[in-house]
Structure 1
Amino acid sequence: MLENNLIGFLGNKEFLPKDFDEFNSTNRLRQLFLSLSNNILKSYCHFSKYEQKKLSNCSLENAFKYKIKNLLPINFIKTDKKTISKNFKICINSTIIINNYLNSTNKKTIFISNKHLLPIAKLISICFINNKMQLLIDKHLLFHEFVLKKIKKLHSDKIVIDLGDSICIKSKDFIGLKIYTSWKDIEVKKPNIKDELESAIKSIKKGEFYQIYLAYPKNNEFTKQIPVYVDELKNKEYQIKAIPYSLRSIIKN
């Protein structure tokens, strides 16, 4: 179900993934979300390692309120007049968004914004909806972006392509590797990998790739690679593996 795939917050209600690996407390799960959200909101919002750890002690709602307040300038141009300096180029959209957030309960003051405050306006627009703080993100997307970032760093000498449902690694001397990502709690004896496996089989049959990895978050049980063998591919040269991907670097200092 879609709601089971969304993590984040809706007002003071939090939707966090269940405990896994070393993320065995509410604080660490909040820290996990703040870190993973960086990969989605990176152009206008970034929680430093220090902020992730510090803000995990409060609700996610208050963490994003803190971030917005921290990003806003100390001084605004305040006016109750229609005239503005000719040297000041107003950004109408940013002005409306920031005013709506700051004055949701008190609309006596008008704050004028220019393009330099556009990133703040974007952050407000994505997590302040209908006068309520909320931000819910698909966990599969969060995990996909985390894996993509790691792969780009690890294979900086190769071409890494984000295919949306998967990630491709190629180079002149390398035939290629395809990685399907999904945030699932994998049970080694009975892994739930049907959907990703079907995609992998189709890709191999098309002759696009013969080496495919299925990446999932590492947990206490799923700690090693699992080779996957498919009867209908027995006459083809291929390699499919379920790979545990550790998120522990997020909580390491």
Structure 2
Amino acid sequence: MLSNNFIGFDETKEYLPKDFDEFNSIIRLRQLFLSLSNNILKCTCNFTKYEQVKFAKHSLKGAFSNKILNLMPFSFIKTTKKQNINNFKLCVNSTKIINNYLNPNKKNLIFISNKNLLPVAKLISHCFVNNKMQLLIDKHLLFHEFVLKKIKKLHRDKTVIDLGDSICIKSEDFVGLKIYTSWKDIEVKKPNIKDELEDAIKSIKKGEYFQIYLAYPKNSEFTKQIPVFVDELKNKEYQIKAIPYSFRSIIKK
């Protein structure tokens, strides 16, 4: 059984987060996934704003299939008598992956993935598994990368460090701020923040940081910062807040 932590698609079956905030339709939820996947696949695959809107009207499988087709070497090679075939560099591993994708009935598994592959071969190796289209990504990772990108853009004058489970912001005249990220549907009256809060408390007790934010996706109920007070830290100087992060910029045209 697939964990609820993963979103994406397996052939025609789609695993999308439940409706929240402005993402109240399957089309917008697909658009959300296509945009967030850019931060994971990065230079291998980048869906433009136009493509996100266009492809979200169809299945995620169709979106990635079309993206693969657009990235194929032969999609932009024009055959003319003057063309010098020596100008085209052949990548053997990429060719194998592309051929296996175009001829899945041969039952050759696609497993090669390295930095030297053509972008289209890299994309195929990511989302063509066991001779079928599939791409499932941990939603917590998707949210973490989204927040990281936002913070880097917002704090260009500071040092932003990706710590894996959290993000740190520092500068010469700034003590530092630590942000823990998690994709959870936060209920204001009874927020499920136990795990992130325990990490925050440990960090404060170690004297690493005294200002810590817990970042979660914004929803219709969770729209404002929530200050968090901890009894065992009452004798320490600290600040913990639950912070809502909005995805709405993704659907702005």
Question: Under a length normalisation based on structure 1, what TM-score does the superposition of the two structures give?
Answer: 0.90
Gaps of 5+ in 1: 79-84, 108-114
State yes or no: 1:16 paired with 2:16.
Answer: yes
- After the TM superposition, which residues 18-167 of structure 1 pair with which residues of structure 2 at under 5 Å, given as runs? 18-73=18-73, 74=75, 89-105=89-105, 118-167=118-167
Deviation at 1:130, TM superposition (A): 1.1
Aligned-CA RMSD value: 2.1
Please name the residue that 1:192 is paired with: 192
| Secondary structure, counterpart of 1:3 in structure 2 | coil
Over 3 Å counting, the alpha-carbon distance change for 1:199 and 1:106 in structure 2 is: closer
Deviation at 1:238, TM superposition (A): 0.1
Please name the residue that 2:240 is paired with: 240
Gaps of 5+ in 2: 80-84, 108-114
| Secondary structure, counterpart of 1:46 in structure 2 | coil
Please name the residue that 1:111 is paired with: none
Amino acid in structure 1 at the alignment position of 2:143: F
Give the whole-Å Cα distance in 2 for the aligned partners of 1:126 and 1:4: 20
| Secondary structure, counterpart of 1:4 in structure 2 | coil
User: Percent identical across equivalent pairs?
Assistant: 79
Deviation at 1:173, TM superposition (A): 0.3
Structure 1: which 4+ aligned runs deviate by more than 4 Å? 75-78, 85-89
Amino acid in structure 2 at the alignment position of 1:193: I
Amino acid in structure 1 at the alignment position of 2:45: C
| Secondary structure, counterpart of 2:190 in structure 1 | coil
Amino acid in structure 2 at the alignment position of 1:243: I
Give the whole-Å Cα distance in 2 for the aligned partners of 1:13 and 1:22: 23
Contact 2:181–2:214 at 8 Å: present in 1 too? yes
Give the whole-Å Cα distance in 2 for the aligned partners of 1:209 and 1:171: 13
Amino acid in structure 2 at the alignment position of 1:98: I
